[in-house]
Amino acid sequence: MVFTALAATVGLLLAGFSTVATRSAAEALARDIARVEALGGDGRALAGDREPEAQVSIAPITVAGHDAVSVEVRQPAALFDVTASATIVVEPES
């Protein structure tokens, strides 16, 4: 019985670490997609290349009178789905 409890505890710890790592990866992906979109690139293509199973939402917004891009990424993780978001001001065209 002790081994069962130990195995369950270790399993939950590993799933928790995996979920935290997935959250960190989702934050990085959201930030990178926002950067690509702000520079006029295709953020959805980047998301499809790096994390095909991620659900990505990209929306143009206005922040303090400036055009910006808001990105939300939802990824499945070991314990539950994680969500990350990033917002960045669009680079002016020169």
Average pLDDT of the segment spanning 69-75? 96
DSSP string, 6-29: HHHHHHHHHHHHHHHHHHHHHHHH
Instruction: Output the pLDDT for position 32.
Output: 96
With respect to residue 37, please indicate whether it lies within any of the assigned structural domains: yes
Report the distance separating Cα 80 and Cα 68, nearest Å.
30
Taking phi over 0 as left and psi of -120 to 50 as alpha, with beta for the rest, 63 belongs to beta
For residue 79, give its domain range.
1-89
Domain count, the chain: 1
What is the pTM for the complete model shown? 0.84
For 10-39, what is each residue's pLDDT tens digit?
Answer: 999 999 999 999 999 999 999 999 999 999
In a domain, 82, yes or no: yes
Give me the pLDDT at residue 33, please: 96
pLDDT of residue 94: 66
Report the pLDDT value the prediction gives residue 91, as an integer from 0 to 100.
83
